[in-house]
C-alpha cells in the first residue's frame, strides 16, 4: 500500500493552502482532487459544452458544476483543480471583527460561537492576500472609470446613506504587481511558475468569472497556491475521487479512492460508458479533509462508525451564508432608460455593507454580472429561437440528468429567455449572517439537508428590503428569483456540518481544525465553519487553513524532507524553522473513586472505577523548555473513565516537568487536563507526581505514580482549592508501558539528537539532584 506523510482531499481554498504550506516545509503531500484541471481556454462556452459541464460521473459527466438540490435548499459548488476558485466571483473580504461572536443566542434556540478571533486570523488573512494577489477594482483609472454598474451602486449607496466600498478582488488587472492596469495584456508568471504552462492575460471585463476565466485573469488557486505547491513537490492527482476514510491501527489514516477515466482519457467519446479504476487505498500519517462542506460532511457521516467518539455535533451548524439573489430590472433615470451594463466588468466590482438593515445580524449586497456573450444574445435578433433552445438545453441537463430543480445558471437562463436581462438590468447578490441551525444527515446513503429560512426570516426580510430601496433609487423594478417565491434558499456558499468548537460538545474539530479525539485528522474547508462568515467566505476558509498548517508544522514534522522536482542532488533538506521540538507518548492506568477528594487515601477503596489516559506530550522548543523554571509542555490525547462518560478527548492540556517543590530536594511533575465529560460538562484532571529525597529504591515508585483529582469546571493553575472534587485516585505506569514510552521519543528541527540528549541530561540531572546521597543521610 502506498504511504505518504500527508493526504489532502480536495483542492479548494482549504486544501490548496494546506498543500502549499506543508509541501513548502518539506512534507510529502498528495492532493486527491475528483475533478479535472482547467487551463485558460478550456472552460465551456457553447450550449453543447455547457450542457456537459456538470458533475455526475455515473451519467458520464465530469464537468465543474456540481448541483445539489434538497427539500428546502439548493446549491451549486465546483469540481475541478482549484475547487470553488474556478467559479467564484473573486471577492476576498475579511470576516468583520464584530461577527466573530461568542455564545450569541440564536432565534430558534442554541447559540453561535466562534472559537477564534479576528486578531488571531489577521496575520493569516495577510498571508493569503499576499499569496493570491488582491486588488480593488481600478475604478479610478480612465479605462475603468465608466463601469456603469459600479457607479450605479455607488450612487444608490450615497443616496441611502449606506457603506459602499470596492472590495479586494483576486484578479490580475495589471500584468504584474505595481504595474498599470491594462486590459488583455500578458500576465507575468510568479517565481513558482504556472502548472498549466498556458499564458495568462489580464482582465478584459467580460463578466465570465463565474463560468471559468478563459483568459487566466482570475488569480484562482491553480495559478497560485497549487502551482507553488507543485513546485515544492506536492503531487496533484486529478480525477481521483475519495470514497472513504478510516483510522489505521497504530496511527494514521487510510484513504480509499477511485480514479475516473472520462471518455477522452479512456480513448473514446461515448458519454454513456463511464470508466473508473479502483477502489485504491493510500495511507498517511496526517489527513486533511478539504472536499467542501458537502464532500467532507458526507465522508464523515458515511464512515462515522470508523470514528468512535466523534462529536455529536457532526452534521450541525449548516447555513447558506445568508445567500440571496435578486434582480433589478429596467432601471430608469427621469423616465429615461438608465444603462448599467451588468455584463461589463468582473462579476462583482463593489459591495455595500449592512448592519442593522439585515435584522441586526449584518450582511453585504454586491453588484452582480453575467457574461458579455449573454448580453449579445439578448440584444440579437434571434432571442426567441437560439437562446430559448440554449436555456432549455441547460435546464434539461440540470433537471433531467441531475434531477435538481434549479441553480444560479438556471435562474439567469430563465430571465434571459424572457428578455429581462439587458443593459438596464442588474443582478444583486446578498450574503450575510443567516441562522446556522441546519442539519446535514444521510438519507438512503445520500446526503440530505434539513434546513429552511424560517428562523432566518428577519435577516432575509431586512436584506430584501434594502435591495428594494436600492431598486427604488435606481428607478428599477425589484424581482425575487423563482425559488425564493417558494422560500427555498439558494446558496453558492454552503457552510457547516463539521464545525469547530472549544470542546467536543461544541464542535467536531478544535480551533485549529484538528478533529477531537483523532490526532492528525484535520478539516480545512467550509464544513469547519461554526456559523456564517457573513462576507464572501473564501478568504476566511483560506486563512483558517493557513493557521491550521502553521499549527501542524509546529507540532509535527517529517522524518526527512522530500526532494523537490528540479532541485538537484545537492538540494538541502528543509528544516523545521530554527527551533527543535520533541514529543513522546505516555500511558498510565489506575482507579478513580467517585466522591473522593484525597487521592492518597483512595487506593483500594470499594467502588473505585478503572481510569486510564494516553497523552502525547509535546515540547515545542527544547531550549526554551529547559531554561524556563516551570518546564511546561503541551498534553493532548484522551482520558477514559466511567465517571467521565467513557473515553473523552482532551481539549487543552499542560505538563510540567520537575517544577520546584516546597523543599530544595523536592520536585513535582504536574498534569492539568481540560476536557468535557459525556454530559458535556467541563472537567479538569489535576495530577502530580511527587519526587522527593529518599533511598534510590523510591525513584521508580515516585516517578511512576500519579496522584489525581477530578474537578468540576475548567480549573486553571492555582485555583484547585476553590474547585469541587468529583473523584480522586492514583494512576501508575507499568514497566512495559515505560518501555513503550521510551520508544516513542521523537524530535523535529535542527540538531534533534543533541536536543534529545540535552532533554535526557536534564531529566537525569534533576533525578540525581533529588536522590543523590547527602552527607549525614
HEC assignment per residue over 304-369:
HHHCCCCCCCCCCCEECCCCEEEEEECCEECCEECCCCCCCECCCCCEEEECHHHCCCCEEEEECC
Residue 609 contacts by C-beta under 8 Å, 6 or more apart in sequence? 591, 592, 593, 594, 641, 642, 643
Pairing, β 521-523 against β 275-289: parallel
Contact 255, 9 (CB under 8 A): yes
Distance CA 579, CA 698 (A): 35
- In the predicted structure, residue 214 carries a pLDDT above the cut 80: yes
* Whether residue 723 has pLDDT greater than 50: yes
Weakest-pLDDT range from 44-58, 118-132, 251-265, 403-417: 403-417
249-283 pLDDT tens trace: 888 999 999 998 876 544 444 444 557 787 899 99
- CA-based torsion, 688, 691, 695, 699: positive or negative: positive
Residue 708 pairs with which residues in a beta bridge? 687, 729
Q: How many CB atoms lie within 10 A of CB 720?
A: 14
pTM passes above 0.75? no
In the prediction, which pLDDT does 266 show? Answer: 42
User: What pLDDT does 557 receive?
Assistant: 45
729, 598 Cβ separation under 8 angstroms: no
Cα–Cα distance measured from residue 12 to residue 536, given in angstroms and rounded to the nearest whole number: 14
Those residues with Cβ within 8 angstroms of residue 655's Cβ, 6 or more apart along the chain or in another chain: 615, 617, 632, 633, 634, 635, 669, 670, 671
Closest CA to 25 of 272, 267, 286: 286
Averaged pLDDT, 610-629: 87
Terminal alpha carbon distance of the chain? 60
| CA-atom Rg of the chain in angstroms | 29
| Distance of alpha carbon 420 from alpha carbon 477, whole angstroms | 11
Vertex 666 angle, CA 665 and 668, to 5°:
150
For 552, list phi and psi in degrees, rounded to 5. Answer: -60, -40
pLDDT in the model for residue 496 = 96
Residue 689 CA: distances (Å) to CA of 268, 595, 639, 655, 711: 70, 21, 17, 11, 17
CA distance 316 to 450: 10
Average pLDDT over residues 491-511: 93
- DSSP for residue 131: H
Task: Estimate to the nearest angstrom the gap between the alpha carbon of 664 and the chain centroid.
Answer: 49
Per-range mean pLDDT, top range of 26-30, 453-457, 756-760: 26-30
Q: Which of 44-48, 332-336, 396-400, 605-609 has the lowest mean pLDDT?
A: 396-400
Q: Using alpha carbons, select from 677, 31, 50 the residue that is nearest to residue 395.
A: 50
Per-residue exposure over 337-349, b if at least 16 CB sit within 10 Å of its own CB, e if not: ebbbbbbbbbbbb
Q: What region does 309 belong to: left with phi over 0, alpha with psi -120 to 50, or beta?
A: left
Residue 471: is its pLDDT beyond 70? yes
Q: Is 315 left (phi over 0), alpha (psi -120 to 50) or beta?
A: left
Q: Is the dihedral of CA 41, 47, 51, 52 positive or negative?
A: negative
Per-residue model confidence (pLDDT) at position 739: 78
Q: Specify the pairing of strand 55-56 against strand 746-748.
A: unpaired
Report the pLDDT value the prediction gives residue 250, as an integer from 0 to 100: 80
Residue at grid coordinates 456540518 = 497
Residue % of the chain over a pLDDT of 90: 50
**In this structure, what are the phi and psi dihedrals at residue 497, rounded to the nearest 5 degrees?**
115, -35
The cell for 410 is 438556471
Lookup: cell for 423: 443593459
Q: How confident is the model at residue 571 (pLDDT cuts 50, 70, 90)?
A: very low
User: Over 90: is that where the pLDDT of 513 sits?
Assistant: yes
Query: Does residue 552 sit in helix, strand or coil?
Result: helix
d(CA 695, CA 701): 11
Strand-pair category, 363-367 with 426-432 = antiparallel
CA 237 vs. chain centroid, Å, equals: 20
| Segment 406-422 mean pLDDT | 42
Give how far the C-alpha of residue 419 lies from the chain's centroid of Cα atoms, to the nearest Å: 40
Query: What residues form DSSP beta bridges with 726?
Result: none
Dihedral sign, Cα of residue 104, residue 109, residue 115, residue 119: negative
pLDDT at 584: 86
Minimal CA–CA distance to 483: which of 159, 148, 75? 75
Q: Which residue has the higher pLDDT, 217 or 572?
A: 217
680 vs 644: CA distance, rounded Å: 10
pLDDT class for 725, splitting at 50, 70, 90? Answer: very high
Reported confidence tier of residue 406, pLDDT bands at 50, 70, 90 = very low
Residue with cell 492528525: 520
pLDDT band at 305 (very low <50, low <70, confident <90, very high): very high
Percentage of residues of the chain with pLDDT beyond 70: 84
- DSSP characters for 615-642? EEEEES-HHHHHHSTT-EEEEEEEEEEG
Peptide bond into 281 cis (omega under 30): no
Rounded to whole angstroms, the Cα distance separating 538 from 90 reads 9
CA distance 426 to 151: 12
pLDDT value of residue 377: 41
Question: Residue 196: CA atoms inside 13 Å, Cβ hemisphere, count?
Answer: 22
User: Could you read off the pLDDT of 317-356 as tens digits, one per residue?
Assistant: 999 999 999 989 888 876 677 888 888 999 999 999 998 7
> Is the confidence at residue 413, as pLDDT, over 50?
no
Cα distance between residue 257 and residue 236, in whole Å? 14
SS3 labels along 715-769: CCCCCHHHCCEEEEEEEECCHHHHHHHHCCCEEECCCHHHHHHHHHHHHHHHHHH
Output the CA angle 768-773-777, nearest 5 degrees. Answer: 145
DSSP SS3 for 685 = strand
- Which of the two residues, 383 and 517, has the higher pLDDT score? 517
Q: Which three cell numbers stand for residue 145?
A: 472609470
Contact 698/771 with Cβ under 8 angstroms?
yes
What contacts 127, CB < 8 A, 6 or more positions away?
543, 546
Is the distance from CB of 545 to CB of 514 less than 8 angstroms? no
Q: What is the mean pLDDT of residues 674-679?
A: 85
Average pLDDT over residues 619-624: 86
Amino acid at each position: 500500500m502506498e504511504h505518504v506523510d500527508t493526504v489532502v482531499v480536495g483542492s479548494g481554498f482549504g486544501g490548496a493552502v494546506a498543500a502549499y504550506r506543508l509541501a513548502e516545509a518539506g512534507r510529502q503531500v498528495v492532493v486527491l482532487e475528483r475533478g479535472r484541471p482547467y487551463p485558460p481556454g478550456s472552460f465551456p462556452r457553447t450550449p453543447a459544452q455547457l450542457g456537459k459541464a456538470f458533475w455526475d460521473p455515473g451519467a458520464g459527466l465530469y464537468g465543474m458544476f456540481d448541483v445539489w438540490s434538497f427539500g428546502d435548499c439548493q446549491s451549486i459548488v465546483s469540481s475541478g483543480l482549484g475547487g470553488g476558485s474556478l467559479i467564484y466571483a473573486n471577492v476576498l473580504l475579511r470576516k468583520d471583527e464584530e461577527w466573530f461572536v461568542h455564545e450569541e443566542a440564536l432565534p430558534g434556540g442554541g447559540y453561535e460561537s466562534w472559537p477564534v478571533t479576528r486578531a488571531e486570523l489577521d496575520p493569516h488573512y495577510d498571508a493569503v492576500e499576499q499569496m493570491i494577489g488582491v486588488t480593488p477594482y481600478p475604478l479610478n483609472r480612465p479605462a475603468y472609470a465608466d463601469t456603469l454598474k459600479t457607479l450605479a451602486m455607488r450612487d444608490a449607496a450615497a443616496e441611502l446613506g449606506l457603506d459602499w466600498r470596492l472590495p479586494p478582488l483576486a484578479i490580475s488587472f495589471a500584468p504584474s504587481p505595481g504595474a498599470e492596469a491594462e486590459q488583455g495584456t500578458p500576465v507575468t508568471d510568479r517565481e513558482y511558475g504556472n502548472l498549466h504552462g498556458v499564458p495568462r492575460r489580464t482582465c478584459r471585463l467580460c463578466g465570465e468569472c463565474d463560468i471559468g476565466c478563459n483568459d487566466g485573469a482570475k488569480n484562482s488557486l491553480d495559478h497560485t497556491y497549487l502551482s507553488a505547491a507543485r513546485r515544492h513537490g506536492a503531487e496533484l492527482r486529478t480525477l481521483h475521487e475519495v470514497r472513504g476514510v478510516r483510522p489505521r491501527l497504530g496511527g494514521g489514516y487510510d484513504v480509499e479512492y477511485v480514479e475516473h477515466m472520462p471518455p477522452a482519457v479512456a480513448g473514446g467519446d461515448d458519454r454513456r460508458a463511464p470508466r473508473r479504476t479502483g477502489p485504491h487505498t493510500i495511507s498517511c500519517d496526517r489527513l486533511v479533509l478539504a472536499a467542501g462542506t458537502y464532500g467532507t460532511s458526507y465522508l464523515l457521516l458515511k464512515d462515522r462508525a470508523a470514528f468512535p467518539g466523534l462529536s455529536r455535533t457532526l452534521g450541525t451548524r449548516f447555513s447558506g451564508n445568508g445567500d440571496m439573489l435578486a434582480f433589478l430590472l429596467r432601471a430608469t433615470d427621469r423616465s429615461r432608460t438608465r444603462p448599467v451594463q451588468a455584463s461589463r466588468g468582473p462579476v462583482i466590482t463593489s459591495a455595500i455593507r449592512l448592519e442593522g438593515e439585515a435584522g441586526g445580524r449584518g450582511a453585504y449586497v454586491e453588484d452582480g454580472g453575467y457574461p458579455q456573450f449573454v448580453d449579445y444574445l439578448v440584444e440579437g435578433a434571434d432571442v426567441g429561437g437560439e437562446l430559448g433552445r440554449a436555456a432549455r438545453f441547460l435546464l434539461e441537463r440540470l433537471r433531467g440528468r441531475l434531477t435538481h430543480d434549479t441553480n444560479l445558471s438556471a435562474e439567469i437562463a430563465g430571465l434571459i429567455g424572457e428578455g429581462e436581462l439587458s443593459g438596464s438590468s442588474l443582478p444583486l447578490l446578498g450574503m450575510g449572517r443567516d441562522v446556522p441551525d441546519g442539519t446535514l444527515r444521510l438519507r438512503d446513503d445520500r446526503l440530505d439537508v434539513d434546513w429552511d429560512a424560517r428562523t432566518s426570516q428577519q435577516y432575509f426580510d431586512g436584506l430584501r428590503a434594502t435591495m428594494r430601496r436600492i431598486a427604488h433609487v435606481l428607478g428599477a423594478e425589484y424581482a425575487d428569483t423563482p425559488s425564493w417565491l417558494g422560500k427555498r434558499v439558494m446558496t453558492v456558499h454552503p457552510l457547516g456540518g463539521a464545525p469547530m468548537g472549544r470542546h467536543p460538545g461544541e464542535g467536531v474539530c478544535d480551533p485549529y481544525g484538528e478533529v477531537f479525539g483523532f490526532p492528525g485528522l484535520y478539516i480545512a474547508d467550509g464544513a469547519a465553519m461554526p456559523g456564517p462568515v457573513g462576507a464572501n467566505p473564501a478568504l476566511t476558509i483560506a486563512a483558517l487553513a493557513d493557521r491550521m498548517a502553521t499549527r501542524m508544522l509546529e507540532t509535527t514534522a517529517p522524518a526527512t524532507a522530500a526532494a523537490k522536482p528540479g532541485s538537484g542532488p545537492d538540494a538541502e533538506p528543509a528544516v523545521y524553522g530554527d527551533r527543535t521540538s520533541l514529543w513522546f507518548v505516555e500511558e498510565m492506568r489506575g482507579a478513580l473513586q467517585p466522591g473522593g477528594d484525597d487521592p492518597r487515601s483512595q487506593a483500594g477503596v470499594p467502588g473505585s472505577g478503572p481510569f486510564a489516559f494516553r497523552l502525547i506530550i509535546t515540547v515545542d522548543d527544547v531550549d526554551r523548555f529547559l531554561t524556563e523554571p516551570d518546564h511546561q509542555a503541551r498534553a493532548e490525547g484522551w482520558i477514559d473513565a466511567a465517571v467521565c462518560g467513557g473515553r473523552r478527548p482532551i481539549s487543552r492540556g499542560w505538563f510540567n516537568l520537575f517544577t520546584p517543590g516546597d523543599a530544595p530536594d523536592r520536585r513535582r511533575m504536574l498534569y492539568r487536563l481540560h476536557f468535557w465529560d459525556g454530559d458535556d460538562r467541563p472537567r479538569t484532571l489535576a495530577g502530580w507526581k511527587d519526587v522527593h529525597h529518599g533511598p534510590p529504591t523510591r525513584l521508580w515508585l515516585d516517578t511512576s505514580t500519579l496522584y489525581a483529582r477530578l474537578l468540576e469546571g475548567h480549573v486553571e493553575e492555582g485555583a484547585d482549592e476553590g474547585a469541587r472534587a468529583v473523584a480522586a485516585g492514583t494512576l501508575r505506569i507499568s514497566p512495559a508501558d515505560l518501555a513503550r514510552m521510551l520508544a516513542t521519543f521523537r524530535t523535529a528541527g535542527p540538531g534533534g539528537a543533541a536536543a534529545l540528549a540535552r532533554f535526557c541530561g536534564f531529566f537525569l540531572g534533576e533525578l540525581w539532584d533529588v536522590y543523590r546521597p547527602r552527607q549525614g543521610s
